[in-house]
Amino acid sequence: MDTKPTTNATGLPSREQMVEAAERAAAMPPAPTPPPVVVPVTPVSEVPAKPSLFRRLMTIVQFRKQQRKERMIMLAEELKSITSEDVRRRIRITKVTARKYLEELVHEGRLLRRGKKGSYVYEIVHVQD
């Protein structure tokens, strides 16, 4: 048996003990390396595409915009002619948004704009058969 003290005066192993421990560790066979972990990978073409949050929100915004524009057309049919102020009050949107949507409907050919700047009146386009 080894009768050497396990520690020196500082409480640490002696130099000889550290050398012996290093020699024993070097003589040991290396630890076996574990086999690599194989994770099955699904090809990108098979992964269903999940729409991004931005794309989902934009779809909702576009849907609401289309609904408002349809309500504006129904309002124009009911009143025969409308102003941006009529739209603002009845659909509860800002005056700027009302003007923008009315201009889009004019550009789409669904409404006609009459009057002078600042007092436009919008009417339904009647298709001649």
> Architecture of domain 52-124 in CATH?
Orthogonal Bundle (1.10)
State pTM to two decimals.
0.58
Domain boundaries, the chain: 52-124
* pLDDT 10s digits, 55-111: 899 999 999 999 999 999 999 999 999 999 999 999 999 999 999 999 999 999 999
Residue 107, SS3? helix
CA distances in angstroms from 127 to 77, 109, 112, 115, listed in the order given: 14, 10, 12, 21
pLDDT at 45: 67
